Structure 1
């Protein structure tokens, strides 16, 4: 288990109580764990762990946010740079999380937030997501199909990409990751989206290859419609009010 700075929440809490100018009450039983109460606490990371030391939940800022986890082992993420919350299952696998962030560069602005839940040994399979880029917004519920194989090899490649000395090396390893996924039947596909894209409220249903085949929509003009699409994305039938 990786501990950033070697401090768990109990040590942080104890240090806060002992060092604060006006500490709140520290309640100690004759035996058993100590219990502390605070009016306010500021930390960079909190680890919720099981009795065997495995993570169950991690809350962290962007600097101390963990990487990818499988079977209790951490693999550095090649591109993750935000903060939030990460969930873990009984086996020490990462199984989802809550993330959010924003970035503004000149006239360009980006923002996002997501609550995701992962398939066993795989990537996210259901989530609520919001994203915005330069005034174009998407928000809704998403459901993905994922294959049955474990993504542990991809985590190992991600750690290699994170350790690469330059962007050329990282790009090469990312290409390896995509090639590995495709050689094993693909990384999965989005099957359901229900939400808003720019000015339209939609429900989009796709086939196992991720190709949209049915679209229920209420457009910016307020007109409802149902569209049937072929595998090339062409509308073959449209029903209006």
Structure 2
């Protein structure tokens, strides 16, 4: 009986120390709720396909058109969705809206010199109408 009391006391002390350690170390990660630092965030559909991707330049995915992936000519970080792309490259920020076929159709851009351009694109991504330059 005496041995059982010592065993229960040791167990109780051990559990208390373990809980105290877990509580104290859990509060060592400063986070005031104002900022999250990650290299990429994937938001996926129910079937696991990407719906929205927020990524830096190194982790931005290559575009996919009709199920085929194409190599990017220029890596630019930003937001990528099936129909909308927002990104920055070499000081120019651009918003590209894709058609239902996944190909770029409209592009709004602001350069590092504050020059605004608005372009309507054909099915190959070529400018067919430049509204602002």
Q: CA deviation at 1:199?
A: 2.2
Q: Does 2:81 match 1:143?
A: yes
Task: Tell me which residue corresponds to 1:235.
Answer: 127
- SS in structure 2 opposite 1:38? helix
Q: CA deviation at 1:198?
A: 2.9
How many residue pairs are counted as aligned between the two chains? 97
What TM-score results when the alignment is normalised by the length of structure 1?
0.34
Q: Does 2:98 match 1:206?
A: yes
Task: Tell me which residue corresponds to 1:37.
Answer: 23
Q: CA deviation at 1:143?
A: 1.2
Task: Tell me which residue corresponds to 2:115.
Answer: 223
Cα distance change, pair 230–137 in 1 and its aligned pair in 2 (3 A): closer
Q: Which has the larger strand fraction? A: 1
**Pairing 1:18-57 to 2, within 5 Å after superposition:** 26=19, 36-39=22-25
Q: Deviations over 1:4-42 (max 9, x none)?
A: xxxxxxxxxxxxxx6xxxx95626xxxxxxxx413269x
Task: Tell me which residue corresponds to 1:123.
Answer: 49
Name structure 1 gaps, 5 residues minimum.
1-17, 28-35, 42-99, 101-112, 145-190
Determine the C-alpha separation between the residues in 1 that align with 2:46 and 2:90. Answer: 33
Runs (4+) of structure 1 exceeding 3 A deviation are none
What TM-score results when the alignment is normalised by the length of structure 2?
0.58
Name structure 2 gaps, 5 residues minimum.
1-13, 28-37, 60-73
RMSD across aligned C-alpha pairs, in angstroms?
3.3
Determine the C-alpha separation between the residues in 1 that align with 2:90 and 2:58. Answer: 9
